[in-house]
A and B are shown apart, each in its own frame.
Chain A
Amino acid sequence: MLASLGIGPVKLSPVAVLDALFGGGSEVQRIIVQDIRLPRAILGLAIGAILGLSGAALQGLLRNPLASPSLFGAPQAAAFGAVLVIALGGIDVRSFALPVAAIVAAFASVFVLLAIAGRNASLLILILAGLAISSLAGAATSLTMNLSRNPFAALEIAFWLLGSLEDRSFRHVMLALPFIIAGAAILMSRRHAFRALSLGEESAQSLGVDVGRLRLWAILGVALGVGGAVAVAGAIGFIGLVAPHLMRPLIGYDPARLMVPSALAGAALLLAADIAVRLIPSTSDIKVGVLTALIGVPFFLYLIVRERRALGGGIA
Chain B
Amino acid sequence: MVGSVIAMPPVAWSHRLCKAIRACIRRSNGVFVVAFLILTFAAQAQAAGLPRVASINVCTDQLLMTLADPAQIVGLSPYARDAVRSWAAAEARTYRRLSGEAEDLLMLKPDVVVAGLYMKRATRQLLKRQGMRVAEFDIARSIDDVKEQIRRMGDLVGHPDRAETQVARLDAAIVRAKQAVARKPYRVLALSRRGWVSGDDSITSALLSITGLSNAAASLGSHSSGFATLEAIVADRPDFILISDGRDVADDEGSALLLHPALEKLYPPSRRLIIPEDLTVCGGPMLSDALDRLVAELKRVGG
Contact = CB atoms under 8 A, between A and B. Distances in A.
Interface of A: 8-10, 28, 31-32, 35-37, 86, 92-94, 149-152, 155-156, 159, 167, 169-171, 284-285
A32 B261 contact: no
Which 6 pairs from chain A and chain B are nearest by CB?
A35-B262, A9-B229, A10-B231, A10-B235, A93-B250, A9-B231
B82 A169 contact: no
Contacts of A37: 231
A159 B256 CA distance: 13
Interface in B76-103: 79, 82, 85
Contacts of B129: none
Given A35-B265, A171-B261, A150 B251 contact: yes
B234 to A, nearest CB: 5
B139 interface: no
B227 to A, nearest CB: 6
B contact patch SS = helix
B251 A93 contact: yes
Given A150-B252, A152-B254, A167 B260 contact: yes
A170 B265 CA distance: 13
Given A93-B251, A150-B252, A155-B254, A10 B232 contact: yes
Given A167-B230, A167-B260, A28 B251 contact: no
Contact of B253 (A31, A32, A93, A285): A93
A37 B231 CA distance: 9
A36 B234 contact: yes
Between B193, B234, B253, B261, the greatest number of chain A beta carbons within 10 A of the residue's beta carbon is seen for: B253
B253 A156 contact: yes
11 contacts: A9-B229, A10-B232, A32-B231, A32-B234, A32-B262, A35-B261, A36-B231, A37-B231, A92-B249, A93-B256, A169-B261
B141 interface: no
Contacts of B235: 10, 28, 32
A185 B193 CA distance: 37
Nearest to A149: B82
A24 to B, nearest CB: 17
Between B229, B262, B266, the greatest number of chain A beta carbons within 10 A of the residue's beta carbon is seen for: B262
A86 B251 contact: yes
A167 B257 contact: yes
B232 A93 contact: no
B194 interface: yes
